[in-house]
Every structure is written in structure tokens, then in C-alpha cells.
Amino acid sequence: MIFSGTAGTGEYFERIDHFIGAALGPEAQSLYKIIIDDPEAVAKEALSGMRRVRKSRKARDDAYHFNWLLHIEPEFQQPFRPTRESMAELDLRRDQEPYLIAANLRRAFSGIVAGNVKEEGIRAVKEGGVFEIKGDPELMVLMDELLESFVQQQRMKLPGDKYIPCYKVVSGS
């Protein structure tokens, strides 16, 4: 995977990279590259990646048009409906497999997006209050720092609006 953006996106991607490394470890960080303000390097990396995929699929006798050998854990395939209850019940402990942490972080971030911009999520927050996200203290500090950096970079609101969080990060499970 390639994370890419213009010159002004460097801090954004640095924060994401730090969060992924601290939350999921260096193995997760090895699955992507960050390329800032260099479309030519992005194109070269994408082409190189496509060549590696073709070579791998040929060696494994896999189709070029569909990845039959790809395995996606069920936790990443199930829809998540963000409610106060479902957000509060997310399992954000560090003493589990990294893919389970990643799946629950995906749900937490999805809930925050829903609470910020989707009608159903906005309504849930208005009716029941902000979503509480609970978990291991260290992980919650990381998450709070990441989200606060997004707020400071004005990535958590619609243009022209003052951001009012739809969530509260709470340490402890």
C-alpha cells in the first residue's frame, strides 16, 4: 500500500505511521510506504508493486484478474454499526493478536467518522451523547494523541465549522 499526498501532508502521515507502529508494531508498518510530494516516485513504486504481484501470482498459479489465494479474517468482513453500546464494547486491549487490535481500531475510527458525518451516527450522538472509546491506557493515549493531531490539522470537521468531538477516549477497559 502507498500513502501519498502533497507537501502539506507530511505531518498527517507521520502521525499515522507513529500510531500504527506503536499500536500494531513494525510488521504492520512494513506493509506500506509513505511518499510525500513525489508523484513520479509513487508511480514507480506502484509499477514495482504490480510487477511483484504478477510474479507472485505466476509463481503460485493464481489468476491475474482475481486474488483467489487472498485470505481476509472474518473480523474485517463483518459490517460495524456504530452505536454508543457497540463503541463502548470494542475490545481495545493490547494482549491480543495484532489483526484483532487492527479490526477493532478500524471499527473505532469508522464510528468516529459516522459520528462526524453520517446521518445515523450524528443522530446517535445527539440522542445518546458522545461515543466512549475504552481500552488499554497506553493504546488510548496513542489514539487520543492521533485524533487530537487530526483536530489541530483541521481534518476532523467540515470546512467552516468548529469541531465538536463525537467521541471521548477513556483509559481502562
Residue 173 in this model has a pLDDT that exceeds 60? no
Residue 65 lies in a domain: no
Taking only the tens place, the pLDDT of each residue in 1-46 is 999 999 999 999 999 999 999 999 999 999 999 999 999 999 999 9
| Coil vs helix vs strand at 133 | strand
pLDDT score for 15? 97
Phi, then psi, of 126 in degrees rounded to 5: -60, -40
Same domain? 150 vs 82: yes
Same domain? 87 vs 37: no
Residue 66 lies in a domain: no
For the ranges 52-66, 67-81, 115-129, 155-169, the lowest mean pLDDT is seen at 155-169
Per-residue pLDDT, averaged over 69-78, amounts to: 94
Per-residue pLDDT, averaged over 138-166, amounts to: 89
pLDDT-based confidence at residue 172 (cuts at 50, 70, 90): low
Q: Which of 13, 29, 59 is the last residue of a domain?
A: 59
Q: Which of 13, 30, 59 is the last residue of a domain?
A: 59
Q: What is the domain count for the chain?
A: 2
pTM of the model: 0.89
Q: How far apart are CA 88 and CA 150, in angstroms?
A: 22
Q: How far apart are CA 87 and CA 83, in angstroms?
A: 6
Q: Three-class SS string for 29-79?
A: HCCCEEEECCHHHHHHHHHHHHHHHHHHHHHCCCCCCCCCCCCCCHHHCCC
Same domain? 104 vs 151: yes
Residue 64 lies in a domain: no
Same domain? 144 vs 88: yes
Q: Which of 59, 82, 108 is the last residue of a domain?
A: 59
Same domain? 124 vs 55: no
Q: How many CA atoms lie within 13 A of 154 on its CB side?
A: 6
Q: Find the domain containing 82 and state its range.
A: 74-171
Same domain? 97 vs 26: no
